[in-house]
Structure 1
């Protein structure tokens, strides 16, 4: 599959057909469906069997897409050294996949935790350095800072967590500290002995103190003693199983809103691969309260927008695309993934398509990655495998 597919193609019907043929060159024949002025390409473009994700991607974050999605577009639409951006980067899937393919990682998010989760994995320290640093942390000096957290942790486990938290907050951290903090953030709570806590919800959504107390009572459980350093080292070993990313251009990571990208120059970006929050209300404070406490982040200062109406959401998308028009180089692409909301009654790709009208983008198609489907009409509704479908829908634009 040739890279930088559209670099020298003119904006014409022949251009579109060339792009379609390139995306059609994988798997079974791609279905082409035209509906309400949109061209849909439907196929199983990427699967877990097609490409095993790199071990460094195994970090939990709510509502993140699989690395196969950005990997699909990065490999086809960029060349090594070129910049790939995700302005809603979340756990950093797109920047990390860009680094793994030798591209320049760029990413931003209004959530300050995103940088803490992304940066360490772009240039991870060696396992020996992690082990050495863990041995240097004054675990025995920890003091319990919050008694209410004993609903999650054994007293000795909590003392060790507090010792680690204070160690990280009171010193000038380096890459090894960054890594240890990233792993610890992802081990705070979970539903297996690999986490610091007693049985709880998965790590991408911390429950409240009250909710955890109810879980403990229902399961008749008490928090067991966990070896914090050993669990961090164990998770580090798993994350580093496939090695570090190859040499790549320096990363650019920022905290900020997606529709303002002062960190990116005009025409600097070759590809944007992103997925914004959908129409559901974001519960940032409740979902991240424990991670924020450990990382020293003031949740009240994080101003995440919640777009409750289609019109508000479309205006947000329009503002993003207007900024993308500035930073994406001519011939570059935007791959804008959207989800299925409100029982499949709202098709967000149509709002994105409309938001791009009048901007310097050629609206190419909506790529529908369908893992399993029984008939074409199932692609438009919410299936989650129960109705035979499990899809990603990606509005694909080309900068003209």
Structure 2
């Protein structure tokens, strides 16, 4: 553990006090922060950000289930770091935190146990142009693909599926799975294709299906087709990729000088990140057993060549197991965070507010070298404080972002 001088301790106390004072005084959307205390935990309740505040950067528009909005990491990155600092997310998912960090000129560090996450995040951390994407798509031998899985015809027209197989072959040569030495344009095209595999409009490769962040089973898709009385139409694979690429790049891409470091593994063991090297962690872990990541992503794993059953995604079915997992993650955060660095640990509401996960995170941090600063509740709908504690007050409201704030001693 790092030994701090009295001067350092005073500096860190001053910086955290300054941030908390800013949170308490926040009134950008017309109301002051409500400061409350529940079971010894300070709560700061306000509308700190909103999706309507302004549209997030277009490059974030990659679908992934259970991801937070870019305004959340933006809030903390802008206030707790400076350009060149290291921002990290051990549960990066689609990569919202690393991508936002890169857009703000910070070093983008991330990790996820699912290798699919790396394929969704890494391409958006590198400079890319629409002309390069277009030229690469013209180089694909679209006649090289063969239908290898006839069950996927539940989603795709036979000619579309042949083109997808051709694209998989082309990508495998230029951006092999598990390699860091990949063609950035092929890497980008794979990322976009993964995001267009199934959906509910002509902007996807499939016929009409569920939204893109939750692929249904073959059986379920056949039922959808039968109910609608349709077969999957042929799609222009290259055209769909190019259109989505234009949408993603309409606000530009990440700065070329940004350094990134992405890892695939358990959140509680990231040996590729040196001790005391991270300035800020912004993250959100899986919430107990409410999201079936492997089931949601089976079609994406097929395209990427990932075996879903080999991805060791833990499902924590009890509060005790989940708290133990968070404790292990925070132990690793204590190793990689510099003294004075921060953790913004976002949790949602589980079981209609009956489980307040921030209290479990608070407990998990006990005894570790962190100052527990409080819990921010980003509350866009509720008008009564009691709603934040899972209490009905005449209206159900909406779920809130609840962020446990920690500072490394």
TM-score normalised by the chain length of structure 1: 0.94
Taking a change above 3 Å as real, the CA distance of residues 41 and 356 of structure 1, as seen in their structure-2 partners, is same
User: d(CA) in 1 for partners of 2:351 and 2:80?
Assistant: 32
Equivalent residues of 1:82, 1:270 under 8 A apart:
yes
SS of 1:343's partner is: coil
State which of 198, 203, 209 in structure 1 corresponds to 2:207.
198
Equivalent residues of 1:86, 1:272 under 8 A apart:
yes
Partner of 2:42: 39
User: d(CA) in 1 for partners of 2:189 and 2:35?
Assistant: 47
SS of 2:352's partner is: helix
SS of 1:252's partner is: strand
Instruction: Please give the root-mean-square deviation of Cα atoms over the aligned residues, in Å.
Output: 1.8
1:75-107 alpha-carbon deviations (Å, 9 max, x no partner): 000010010000000000000000000000000
Decide which moves more: 356-365 or 16-25.
16-25
Equivalent residues of 2:174, 2:186 under 8 A apart:
no
User: d(CA) in 2 for partners of 1:183 and 1:292?
Assistant: 14
1:183-209 alpha-carbon deviations (Å, 9 max, x no partner): 000000001110000110011111111
State yes or no: 1:54 paired with 2:47: no
1:126-173 alpha-carbon deviations (Å, 9 max, x no partner): 110100000010002221111111111111111111110111124454
State yes or no: 1:392 paired with 2:401: yes
Taking a change above 3 Å as real, the CA distance of residues 15 and 249 of structure 1, as seen in their structure-2 partners, is closer
SS of 1:353's partner is: helix
State yes or no: 1:379 paired with 2:382: no
Taking a change above 3 Å as real, the CA distance of residues 320 and 141 of structure 1, as seen in their structure-2 partners, is same
Decide which moves more: 195-204 or 242-251.
242-251
Partner of 2:74: 71
Name structure 2 gaps, 5 residues minimum.
1-6, 176-181
SS of 2:377's partner is: strand
State which of 98, 101, 105 in structure 2 corresponds to 1:102.
105
SS of 1:379's partner is: helix
State yes or no: 1:249 paired with 2:258: yes
SS of 1:272's partner is: strand
State yes or no: 1:277 paired with 2:286: yes
Tell me by how many angstroms 1:9 deviates.
7.0
Name structure 1 gaps, 5 residues minimum.
1-6
User: d(CA) in 2 for partners of 1:224 and 1:249?
Assistant: 41
State which of 349, 362, 375 in structure 1 corresponds to 2:371.
362
Equivalent residues of 2:95, 2:121 under 8 A apart:
yes
Equivalent residues of 2:287, 2:350 under 8 A apart:
yes
Partner of 1:4: none
Partner of 1:224: 233
Partner of 1:10: 10
SS of 1:397's partner is: strand
1:338-360 alpha-carbon deviations (Å, 9 max, x no partner): 11112211110001001111111
Taking a change above 3 Å as real, the CA distance of residues 13 and 136 of structure 1, as seen in their structure-2 partners, is closer
User: d(CA) in 2 for partners of 1:386 and 1:209?
Assistant: 39
Partner of 1:22: 22
User: d(CA) in 2 for partners of 1:320 and 1:377?
Assistant: 30
Partner of 2:185: 176
User: d(CA) in 1 for partners of 2:382 and 2:363?
Assistant: 27
Partner of 1:346: 355
State yes or no: 1:150 paired with 2:159: no
TM-score normalised by the chain length of structure 2: 0.92
Partner of 1:135: 138
Number of residue pairs matched by the alignment: 393
Equivalent residues of 1:335, 1:396 under 8 A apart:
yes
Tell me by how many angstroms 1:372 deviates.
1.5
